Amino acid sequence: MLSFIFLGFLVGILVGLTGVGGGALMTPSLIFFGVEPLTAVGTDLVYATITRVFGVFFHNKKGHVKKDIALKLFTGSVPAIVLASIILRIVSKKEINQYLTLVLGIILVATSTITILKGEFRKRTFSSHTLIILGFVVGLIVQFTSVGAGVIVSFALMNFTDLEPRYVVGTTIFYGLLLASLSALSHITLGNVDYLLALSLIVGTIPGVYMGTHINSSIPKDKLKSFVNMIILGIGLVILLTELG
């Protein structure tokens, strides 16, 4: 169990620091350690929910959570999740995933690379309608591809709005908490959760999230933005290599 505690610690640092990477790292890691895939997903969602509870707590104490933005995103995601579940009864998830995940990987790699090399895109303030639409799109993508919501939302808020990077991180974690808790409930009812494993991960994640949040507050915003974009680039490359491999 020590290896799972350490895994929770490492992922907790990344989530607390950047707001992204939890879903993209934890489920594959659990499967690598021999956990059955469906149990890995359910356990990861429970772990992600608890991780984000602590992440929101630590970031909120520092005033880094824009709850109004997160709630508007979530408002758009709820109907998307319902719609996606209906679509998946008609169309094979595997068929959708094959093309949508590949396109998403290309977009993440291309745009994050441009941002790292060239600098900033045009900045603006997202209206309520734009945030709801973004939440809807993210909800669909997450249901179809299992790619973490934090990656997409962080990228959009970080590069296309005037929101400071540390506020992007705190807000993304709060939005991720709302989304993960909704998804975790369905897996709990289906019995797809290893609670002892989840507890081991959570034991490691509490100090990890605290450390990541503390580092987040001390990094200059330009360096934090670059680091988050590097993480997004890495996740995009992993997605492409997985799909093309």
User: pLDDT 10s per residue in the chain (245 long)?
Assistant: 788 999 999 888 888 887 776 666 787 788 778 888 778 878 888 888 888 898 899 989 989 999 999 999 999 999 988 887 787 677 765 666 567 667 777 877 876 787 677 666 666 778 899 999 999 988 887 766 656 677 788 878 887 888 888 899 899 989 988 988 887 887 788 788 999 999 999 999 889 988 988 888 788 877 877 777 788 788 778 777 876 76
The residues that bridge with 161 in the sheet, in sequence order, are 124
pTM of this prediction exceeds 0.85: no
Domain locations in the chain?
Answer: 1-244
State the amino acid at position 51 in one-letter form.
Answer: T
